[in-house]
């Protein structure tokens, strides 16, 4: 049988209690790297508990960006999963609803608060 292919999807959300600073925009800064590790911890643990979990291989933060308010920070990530015959198709709506539930209606991600309408998944 052919080996599973790796597919990507984007994951975007806005944190309302993480003030955006210039060093968050620089991928080599200490602030970017430390915040990136925290985001990996939270996003990976949630996605491993979702229906995509058995196929999920990880997320990579591509950037932090300024949110609508000065105190908001947007997070953009590319996440990966392996396709498999038992995974019919990536159901982004299902994964969105699962993540929405696991984040209390898109309000909490660990010790971070989320902008309620900011979660976006694109498969």
Dist. CA 54–CA 87, nearest whole Å? 9
> What confidence score (pLDDT) does residue 106 get?
95
Q: How far is CA 40 from CA 1, 11, 34, 86, 109, in A?
A: 32, 12, 10, 26, 12
Evaluate if residue 64 carries a pLDDT over 80: yes
Sign of CA dihedral 52, 60, 118, 113: positive
Statement: residue 98 has pLDDT above 90: yes
Residues 40-52: b if buried by 16+ CB within 10 A, e if exposed: eebbeebbeebeb
Q: Say what the pLDDT of residue 86 is.
A: 66
From CA 106, how far away is CA 9, in angstroms rounded? 19
Condensed to tens digits (0 to 9), the pLDDT of residues 78-93 reads 999 988 766 667 889 9
Residues 71 and 2: their CA atoms lie apart, in Å, by 47
Single pTM value for the model: 0.90
**Does the pLDDT value for residue 70 go beyond 80?**
no
Least confident residue range of 25-34, 47-56, 67-76? 67-76
Average pLDDT, the chain: 91
């Amino acid at each position: 049988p052919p080996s599973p292919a790796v597919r990507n999807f984007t994951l975007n959300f806005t944190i309302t209690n993480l003030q955006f600073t210039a060093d968050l925009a620089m991928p080599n800064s200490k602030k970017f790297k430390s915040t990136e590790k925290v985001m990996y911890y939270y996003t990976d643990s949630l996605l491993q508990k979702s229906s995509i979990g058995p196929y999920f291989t990880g997320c990579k933060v591509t950037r932090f960006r300024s949110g609508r308010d000065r105190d908001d920070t947007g997070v953009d990530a590319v996440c990966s999963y392996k396709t498999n015959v038992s995974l019919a198709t990536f159901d982004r709506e299902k994964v969105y609803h699962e993540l929405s539930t696991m984040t209390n209606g898109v309000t909490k991600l660990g010790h971070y608060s989320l902008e309620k309408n900011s979660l976006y998944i694109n498969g």
